[in-house]
Amino acid sequence: MSAAAPALAISGGAAPRGLARSSVLPGFGISLGFTLVYLSLIVLIPLSAAFLKTATMTWPAFWTAVTSPRVLASLKLSFGASAFAAIINAFFGLLVAWVLVRYPFPGKRLIDALVDLPFALPTAVAGIALTAVYSTKGWIGSLLEPYGVKVAFTPVGIVVALTFIGLPFVVRTVQPVLEDLEREFEEAAASLGANRWQTFQHVIFPVIMPALLTGFALAFARAVGEYGSVIFIAGNIPLVSEIAPLIIITKLEQYDYAGATAVAVVMLIASFVLLLAINLLQYWSRTRGRKS
C-alpha cells in the first residue's frame, strides 16, 4: 500500500497538464491511492476471481453448467419474476410518487418515510414477514385462499417478495422529477383544450419517462440478485420456484465451485449490462431534465 500511493501520485503528476490540475489542497496522492487499493482489494480482485475461475473451465463444461434444465429454469424464473415485479413497481411506484407529490392527506409524511422501509429492513426479516402474511393461514393469504389464489410457496410469492424489495426505487427516482415539474406546461395544455388524462399522457408522462425507466431498471436489477426475502416465501421447488441465487448456493453446498461460479458469471454479466443501461438512462434523464 505504501508503495502504491506515491506511485499513483507520481503518475498523476507526470500526466498531461489539466489532468490533476495543480491544486493547493493536499492529500490527492494518499486519498486516491488508498481509494484504488481498497477498491481493488475489496471489489475488483475478488470479482475478477469469479471470471478467472470460469476461465479455467472449458467452454463445453461452462455451457453444460449454465444450460442444464434446472439452471435455465432458475434463470428464467429470476429474470421473469423480476421483470414482473418491476412492472408492478413501475405502475404503483409512479402512482405513489404522484400521490405523495401532488395531494395532501393525513399521515403523508409518515408514509413518505416508510416507503424506504425495504431499503432498511433486513431481507431475511422481510422474507419471513411476507411468508407469514401471505401463507394460507396468514392475514392476507387466508383472504385469497377461498378464491384459489395461493401466494406463498409458489412463483407468485416470489413476485410479491421482489415487489417489496424493489418498491422504493421507482418512487424515489420519479418523486424528485415530479416535484420539479413546472405547472405552466400543464396549464398550457389545458388552455389548448387537453383534458387531464391527455395532459398526463402527452405532457407529464414524457418528462417523467426517463426517471420511470431508471426506477424500473434499478428495481429489476435489484430483484434479479435478491436472495434473502425470496427463499422463505418461494418454496424452492426445483424447476418451479427455485431462483438463480439459490442455485449458486446449492452448487456451493455440493462443492461444485466451478458450476456455482459459472452461474454467477452469467448473472454478473447481466448485472453489468443492466448497470450500463441504468447509467445511460440516468444520463438521458439528466439531459432531458435540463432541456425542459
Q: What's the closest the beta carbon of residue 182 comes to another protein, in angstroms? A: 10
Q: Smallest distance from the beta carbon of 5 to another protein, in angstroms? A: 11
Query: Could you tell me the smallest distance in angstroms from the CB atom of residue 123 to another protein?
Result: 5
**Residue 69 CB, nearest distance to another protein (Å)?**
21
Cell of 257: 465451485
Type of residue numbered 13:
G
Q: Please state the closest distance from residue 64 (CB atom) to another protein, in A.
A: 19
- Looking at beta carbons only, is 68 or 92 nearer to another protein? 92
Supply 42's cell numbers. Answer: 475489496
Show the 3-state SS of the chain: CCCHHHHHHHHHHHCCCCCCCCCCCCCHHHHHHHHHHHHHHHHHHHHHHHHHHHHCCCHHHHHHHHHCHHHHHHHHHHHHHHHHHHHHHHHHHHHHHHHHHHCCCCCHHHHHHHCCHHHHCCHHHHHHHHHHHHCCCCCCHHHHHHHCCCCCCCHHHHHHHHHHHHHHHHHHHHHHHHHHCCHHHHHHHHHCCCCHHHHHHHHHHHHHHHHHHHHHHHHHHHHHHCCHHHHHHHCCCCCCCCCHHHHHHHHHHCCCHHHHHHHHHHHHHHHHHHHHHHHHHHHHHHHHHHHC
Nearest residue (CB) to another protein, 128 versus 239: 128
Q: How far is the CB of 77 from another protein (least distance, A)?
A: 14
Q: Is 274 exposed, middle or buried (0-12, 13-18, 19+ CB in 10 A)?
A: middle
Q: How far is the CB of 87 from another protein (least distance, A)?
A: 14
Neighbours of 111 (CB within 10 A): 13
Minimum CB separation from another protein for residue 67, in Å?
A: 19
Q: For residues 217 and 92, give the distance between their C-alpha atoms in angstroms, rounded to a whole number.
A: 15
Distance CA(284)–CA(278), nearest Å, equals 10
